[in-house]
Amino acid sequence: MKKFITNMLMMLSLTFVALAEEVPAPDQSVVYKTIGDVTLKLHIFNPPSHEPSGRVPAIVFFHGGGWQGGGFTHFSGQCDYLASRGMVAITAEYRTAKQYGTTPKECVMDAKSAMRWVRTHAVELGIDPNRLAAGGGSAGGHLAAATAMLEEFNEVGEDRSVSCVPNILVLLNPVADNSSAGFGHNRVKDYWQEFSPLHNIHKDAPPTLILTGSEDTAFRVASAKAYKKKMEALGLRCDLHIYEGQPHAFFNRDHSEEMYFGTMLEADRFLVSLGYLSGKTPDLCDLLAAVSDTDGDDKIAED
């Protein structure tokens, strides 16, 4: 039985680290921005045997935390999984209120800087700058959407001839409505109309996947449906999946293994549909069975 599971995992191209509960380590970490004495890094997960000549698709993830906290490891598991499937996957640091005393504006500025840095360094990273996705959860989902939708909030002196706009978006309960009916309005009320992705959707917005819970009170179903409606009114693709009974942050592993892996695989299917990944998306039941049978990486590898 265990030999079957081992072979299945190899066939599905899932690394043992991605299945384990330990936070997987990136292949490299690079500084993408320096502001005074603050340095911000990108943590990069490469596909197996990746070479700079590869020009593979890439995705940059932004962690949640209400623009106040959180950390880059929030999406290390997703990055490790997508790297095992053939993408360069990156999880970004950005300035937050608790650590740096910044406002939500600086969060967006850093997210845009991260996207521009990745595009500028596409050759050395071995990625295709025209197949660059952005993703994130909660406030990080807002930031990913902001890089695509918002005209303002660019770092002073940055080369804006390099686009920060991703080619596709993968958004997990993004707090993308910052109106009085949405999230964080009191913190951004002086500039919310320029800050809210939902209210700045435009004709060049990229294909978008939204995964959210029916019980989410930070990004309500009405806002998610409004986002989809606005996108489709412009003739744009927006796939919306509402997970019945699920609250905000339902995709985190400490909430539910099923939701953690299920949303990961839904993103996989979306990326396959757009040619960013190839092959068949793994089956959730098989994956959960393999995970539940795993006592640890060494045990699987030895059998």
Domains, the chain, ordered by start:
23-283 (3.40.50.1820)
Q: What is the value of pTM for the model shown?
A: 0.91
Interval 22-37 mean pLDDT:
96
The percent of the chain in helix, strand and coil, each rounded to the nearest 5, is 40, 20, 40
Tokens for 277, please give them. 């990944």
Helix (H, G, I), strand (E, B) or coil at 44: strand
Tokens for 293, please give them. 């049978």
Residues in the chain: 303
Q: How far is CA 96 from CA 107, 139, 230, in A?
A: 7, 11, 30
Q: Which tens digits make up the pLDDT trace of 66-94?
A: 999 999 999 999 999 999 999 999 999 99
Helix (H, G, I), strand (E, B) or coil at 128: strand
Interval 107-131 mean pLDDT:
98
Q: Which tens digits make up the pLDDT trace of 225-255?
A: 999 999 999 999 999 999 999 999 999 999 9
- Bridge partner list, 46: none
Residue 297 vs residue 8, higher pLDDT: 297
The DSSP output letter for 35 is E
Beta strands 28-35; 38-45: pairing state: antiparallel
Q: Which tens digits make up the pLDDT trace of 146-197?
A: 999 999 999 999 999 999 999 999 999 999 999 999 999 999 999 999 999 9
